[in-house]
Amino acid sequence: MSSLSSSSLPSSAAAIVLAAGMGTRMKSALPKVMHPVLGRPMVSHVIAGAEGLGLSPVAVVIGPDMAPVQKVVAPHPTVEQTERLGTAHAVLQARALMEGVNGTILILYGDTPLIRPETLHNMITLREQSRAGVVVLGFRPDQPGAYGRLVTDAEGHLQAIVEAREATPDQLAIDLCNSGVMAVDGSALFGWLDRVDNANAKGEYYLTDIVALACADGRLCCVVEGDEDELLGVNSRVELAQAEYIAQDRMRTAALENGATLIDPETVYFSHDTVLGRDVMVGPFTVFGPGVTVADGVDIKGFCHFEQCTVASGATVGPYARLRPGAEIGVDAHIGNFVEIKKAVVETGAKVNHLTYIGDARVGSKANIGAGTITCNYDGYNKSHTDIGAGAFIGSNSSLVAPVAIGDGAIVGAGSVITGAVDADALAVARGRQESRPGWAARFRAAMQAKKK
């Protein structure tokens, strides 16, 4: 969600992202790390954080049959953990991909998408400057529960990580807990992992055991503390909803701090890449899907939905408007209630104010599109383009059957079905001729009443 320049890091660093778990508590055929937060998979947030810090290589440990994860993390390399024998075993699978890395190796988790880049930066900086063997990211939750405890000495240096099920009562009283995220000396990591055994309650190879091994080798181990919210690991749909709530709250706060106004912030929903300019006004119940950029001074009147579109400065959108992929709304353009725009350019000052569908089209500068107008862009097999010239006026309830061009300044009469080109400054009317039959309605009613007798 935010990024830091890698230039401020003391030396090169790499990352291993653990993403092999299916997440049975998610009750989903989709791998756990593929579930979205802010409109993109959780693992993509983790990868983006590593990329923002300039970490290289970034290796991802996946499980069997996880082609979707492999695809979404590309071009970063993946390695398969065929047997799930614990976190130490998972990290060991990336040994070949980390060959030659002697700086810091950051160990991250694909189901922990909310860690701030600043926190990871602090971990790497501390490890490099102190020459620590291991730096662990800790936190102090309100309910430590099943979290592993970080055992420190009088000087605050980390001595060991104890799993909750193997902790003594005194250790369980410790409120400093393990997030699982580590920054480790790359020249020593795999040597320590080779020495980890599985003599524990779960019979697994714990990554946490490398802290005691590092201390036994005389290496300093340290703790960096993070906020509980940023260290939320997602293992269920409930936790996924919690992560989304936290992420949305961050995006809303950032939008407000950067100069946008949200009338009812908790009803506005963002994606990870939403961009709002200064003095943007956002009404309630507005949803920004991925790929949306809104320039300065735009007025969004609420109950709108945006996805993969751009809105230029001074435009007005909504209420109840939908901008679909490829919509480009120009400077000072008006998009009104119950209007849908898809793969179309609405140029400067144009107005599409009511109950209208514009797809695969260009609406020229200062054109005015009447209520109920439809660009008929699809014939069941192919999409075709509609071109509406600058200053054109399209009367209400008109259908423009693509491919078709309406010239600059042309007028289309209300209720027309336009199937051919309309010249600039011409009037086009294409509808049945009105016929009036005096007295017909009265005679009809009398005949119907007579049938009821």
**Active site members:** 354
Place of tokens 């609406």: 363
The type of residue at 415 is: G
Place of tokens 């579930």: 35
Binding residues: 18-21, 32, 81, 86-87, 109-111, 148, 163, 178, 235, 324, 342, 357, 368, 371, 377-378, 396, 414, 431
Query: What are the residues facing 417 on neighbouring strands?
Result: 399
CA dist., res. 68 & res. 83, Å (int) = 19
Measuring CA to CA, how many Å separate 15 from each of 54, 124, 224?
10, 11, 17
Task: Assess contact for 410 and 425: CB atoms under 8 A.
Answer: yes
Binding residues for Mg(2+): 111, 235
Task: Assess contact for 306 and 324: CB atoms under 8 A.
Answer: no
CB within 8 Å of 427: residues ≥ 6 apart: 410, 411, 412, 413
Binding residues for UDP-N-acetyl-alpha-D-glucosamine: 18-21, 32, 81, 86-87, 109-111, 148, 163, 178, 235, 324, 342, 357, 368
Task: Assess contact for 60 and 124: CB atoms under 8 A.
Answer: no
CA dist., res. 288 & res. 268, Å (int) = 8
Task: Assess contact for 262 and 280: CB atoms under 8 A.
Answer: no
Q: For residue 391, which of 342, 327, 347 has the smallest C-alpha distance?
A: 347
Binding residues for acetyl-CoA: 371, 377-378, 396, 414, 431
CB within 8 Å of 6: residues ≥ 6 apart: 52, 53, 54, 55
